[in-house]
A = this chain, B = another copy of it.
Amino acid sequence: MSSNQAITQQVNTILEALRYQGITTAVLAPGSRSTPVALLLAQLEHQGRLDLYVDVDERSAGFFALGIVKQTKRPVLLVCTSGTAAANFYPAVCEAKSAHLPLVILTTDRPPELTNIGAPQALDQIHFYGQQVKHFCELPLASASSAELEYLNFNVQRMVVAAKTRPCGPVHFNLPLRKPLLPQLSPAKAIYPKIEFETAALKLAAFDLKQLQQTFANKRGLIIAGPEMQLPQHAALLKWARASAWPILADSLSQLRGNASENVITGYELFMGIPEVREKLKPEVIIRSGGTLVSAQLAAWLKELQIPLYYLDPDQEVNDHTKTATHVLPVEEANFFAALSPVTTPADWLHKWAGVQNKTLKSLTAYDFTQKFCEPAIAVALAQQLPARANLFVSNSMPIRDIERFFLTAREKIKIACNRGANGIDGIISSALGMSAQVQDKQTANFLLIGDLAFFHDMNGLMMAVRYQLQLRIIVVNNNGGGIFSFLPQAQVADFEELFGTAQNLEIAKVAALYHATYQKIESFTALQQVLATPVHSLEIIEVVTKRSENVAQHQQLQQAVKDGILRMLINENQA
């Protein structure tokens, strides 16, 4: 058997095994060593059996792949050549690990005789991502041995399954390849079988559920729904909360803010700082679901409460940095709430929450953003104006905080996503474009809210929008530097601008021109509302110019206005 027959069989077996376990999309960063993988991936694409994206910048490619995972909820294959190409994947690998995303990385490598001997473009790629992957596997050189092929078929499948078994996470294959690298391009037939992996569900025993129901009965109970991309919906949670009249504090990434239920409470960042409200809304028991909360204030409140907190932990990692969980329930949210019978709850409990929530919404709506245009106004305008079906990708740092605080209600089919594993400001554009690339429904519009520093960090990511004619409306909040630092003690130091503010003076219009994006500069609330009301067609960059120097005061003014409204409401209630 010729060596390229052996490579062809080997790579085909790997790719078929990947496909068996649900990989239908691959992102390739081009290079020479990865040639057989690239060509056989392209062949699968021609056969309509796989979507293949090619991204020259590996850092962007990694985050583009993460965006696809977020949209499709399926594992995605990420491929590169040997050398520093693989190192450029590292930020996305770390994000995948922290955010529990099933990323399957296949780095190609020089053959053994060119490693550890000073050959060019050869790094030690074994365990290259260290603790940041769930599993690593050094694949063997192609040998045309049937034992090897059988092993590959089995092992590649189990690694993909590991990636998508909770806690989900990245897995890494390193594949050494020896020249000649050109494979035989003929329709491959899968020789080795698919392994049928059934998925089991974590469920509590009926006895435990009965006890829990008794614990929750007649209590001022509260559900906190944290970030959640795994679940298609929270139907069971909502149903149970409605039947039990429990409020749900819905994190901006919980995918619950688009739900019109009166149980869904979102204004907590604006009202939990008021001592009278905290007193009035003090719960007796909490059920918490989903990942690490966006709201630091909510987390702080949990610590202060010191009450029983039931923490749903389907990942079985007890990743609760608030350390407030008193009871850990290793169970999926949907299973738990479907199995739990509703409880009776003090009559006015939900009503109290809804009252404060409604007053918060009214105060926010009444605020005169037309006169007082500011960064929070962008989140408010998005909540009001996003089309019925939309993906909203939100950058870290200030954007996600503003969304958490001010994007309080949305329409039903709006999905909010964020790279909330390691909270980096890298790769944001690529992640948003990766999501956009795999949106099947043509009615869905894609939005990205991002600050100028994060926009700068991943400008290269825009190339994928050009290459694949992707649709994305990017709202760049341009306050010329690192806005979040003005909220920290660092704001007072002499070297603030040099070390933290870091104005880049980036001309967004020129970036838009470079990537053939339509461009508009917005400097008022009305103009922003108008532009948001128009349909999204292609790559669009909307620059919203704000002032970093006024941002902290503007946030405080708005929060004070909401607070004043709530306090007046409480006084009226007491007088009534």
Contact = CB atoms under 8 A, between A and B. Distances in A.
Contacts of A127: 130-131
A344 to B, nearest CB: 33
Contacts of A180: 489
A519 to B, nearest CB: 13
Interface stretch (A359-367, A372-380, A434-442, A495-503): A495-503
A423 B120 contact: yes
A477 to B, nearest CB: 16
Contacts of A182: 489-490, 493
A70 interface: no
A426 B460 contact: no
A32 B484 CA distance: 9
A105 B531 CA distance: 45
Contacts of A126: 131
Contact of A119 (B90, B292, B459, B504): B292
Interface residues of A, number: 86
A75 B455 CA distance: 32
A28 interface: yes
A120 B84 contact: no
A568 interface: no
Given A117-B320, A499-B54, A502-B30, A94 B84 contact: yes
A93 B404 CA distance: 36
A10 interface: no
Contact of A38 (B93, B121, B499, B511): B499
A220 interface: no
A457 interface: yes
A98 interface: yes
A57 interface: yes
A118 B319 contact: yes
A30 B482 contact: yes
Given A39-B493, A87-B94, A485 B424 contact: no
A317 B308 CA distance: 60
Interface in A328-376: none
Interface string A406-428: 00000000000000101110110
A502 to B, nearest CB: 5
A19 interface: no
A171 B93 CA distance: 22
A426 B88 contact: yes
Given A54-B502, A123-B132, A493-B182, A93 B83 contact: no
A80 to B, nearest CB: 11
Contacts of A32: 484-485, 488, 490
Interface centre among A95, A426, A494, A506 (most CB of B within 10 A): A426
A513 interface: yes
A463 interface: yes
A453 B127 CA distance: 28
A60 to B, nearest CB: 10
A471 B21 CA distance: 53
A307 interface: no
A181 interface: yes
A124 interface: yes
A507 B514 contact: yes
A56 B501 CA distance: 10
A114 interface: yes
Interface centre among A90, A323, A427, A493 (most CB of B within 10 A): A90
A422 B132 contact: no
A155 interface: no
Q: Which 3 A-B pairs have the closest CB atoms?
A: A118-B319, A84-B424, A119-B321
9 contacts: A39-B499, A56-B504, A84-B424, A87-B91, A98-B123, A123-B422, A124-B131, A180-B489, A181-B489
Given A84-B94, A123-B422, 20 more contacts: A30-B482, A30-B499, A32-B484, A38-B500, A39-B499, A56-B453, A56-B504, A85-B424, A117-B319, A117-B321, A118-B291, A118-B292, A118-B317, A118-B319, A120-B292, A124-B132, A126-B131, A185-B494, A507-B514, A514-B514
